[in-house]
Amino acid sequence: MKNNQASLTPLKNKKILFIGGSSYSGSTMLDMMLSNSDSGFSVGEVHALFRPFRPHHFNPRCGCGDPNCSLWVHVRQQGEDRLYQTIFDRFEQLDYIVDSSKDPFWINKQSQRLRNQGIEVHHLLIWKTPVDFCASMLKRNRTGCIKAWVNYHTLYLSLITDFMPVSYVDLVTYPSATLSSINHCIGVNHSPDMENYWTKTHHTLFGNDSAKVHLHKDSSDLTIEDNQHSSVIDGQGKQTADNAHRSIYYKQEQNLVDSQTVNEIQGNPDIQAILAAVSGHNLEITQPDFHAPYPRHTLMILALISRIKFLAGKIFGRYVRLF
């Protein structure tokens, strides 16, 4: 036990930043922006390295693009409990690591473990409005957007009580100012042009391919699953795509959401309670007065369902995408 505690001592001068957010919320982009400095490191959605549930999780491809990069093989061999320690040992110049795994159960577990060791932890929640989130879902031919938005944020707010809310719209509209405010609040040095995360070679693991496409020299260098970008990856309209694929902008697409869905969003009390908890704060760490958290027995059931899903993924996920 003494040896293990001694090996963890260097982490007491380090920080771990956890990013929460629903799917298509911009968490991968925020992750790489915040880690775009000599002292930062992006691990992406690293929880899937230890809890794989989709085919590409079992043979991870490092975000650096080098097929011979053995970083994540080494990290997995060292184990989940030494995840962040292994990264800091490998890259001694680092002051902080950004983890955008998003899974509230993972964030809660890792945060408790690290804080018990006296290590500084920060939580950031990047959020989209329900209408913007529904538009993102509809672009990908996915349904159930309202339920998905409410379920994720209710679970997050039930488990994570201290966090900094980051508006997706603010991030993409005023990236430099937003990042500067975040860094000031969490005590990280702000670097000029930090939002241009493609200027650094990241080892980011998993995460949203639509964000990671910016890491490549041109838009045809990466095959991504998102069929919304098929014209980029198959070479059609390549000149336009190459000129724009490293731009950060906010494209309003609320017109994709029908009036019935908008009315349902506006009349949903759970949505209004969540919005009150995550909006209206000027990028400060907050403990919102959230009136609709999941009760303890519901959290236990959801935790059990999560374990069952990842067990099924570990057994069958190598061969087929289950969820």
Q: Above pLDDT 90, what percent of the chain?
A: 59
Return mean pLDDT, the chain: 83
| pLDDT for residue 231 is more than 50 | no
**pLDDT average, residue stretch 153-182:** 94
Q: Are 164 and 283 in contact, with CB atoms under 8 Å apart?
A: yes
| pLDDT for residue 280 is more than 70 | no
Report residue 252's pLDDT band, with 50, 70 and 90 as the boundaries. Answer: low
**pLDDT average, residue stretch 264-270:** 92
User: What is the structure's pLDDT at 320?
Assistant: 83
Which is more confident, 285 or 123? 123
User: What is the structure's pLDDT at 282?
Assistant: 55
Q: Report how far Cα 55 is from the mean position of its chain's Cα atoms.
A: 20
User: What is the structure's pLDDT at 242?
Assistant: 44
User: E strands, the chain, where?
Assistant: 15-20, 40-44, 96-99, 120-127, 164-167
User: What is the structure's pLDDT at 98?
Assistant: 98
* CB-based burial label for 109 (10 Å; 0-12, 13-18, 19+): middle
- Helix (H), strand (E) counts: the chain: 16, 5
Residue 195 CA to residue 238 CA, distance in Å, equals 24
Report residue 20's pLDDT band, with 50, 70 and 90 as the boundaries. Answer: very high
User: What is the structure's pLDDT at 248?
Assistant: 63
Matching residue, tokens 């907050």: 286
User: What is the structure's pLDDT at 256?
Assistant: 85
Which is more confident, 319 or 108? 108
Which residue, 166, 203, 283, is CA-closest to 40? 203
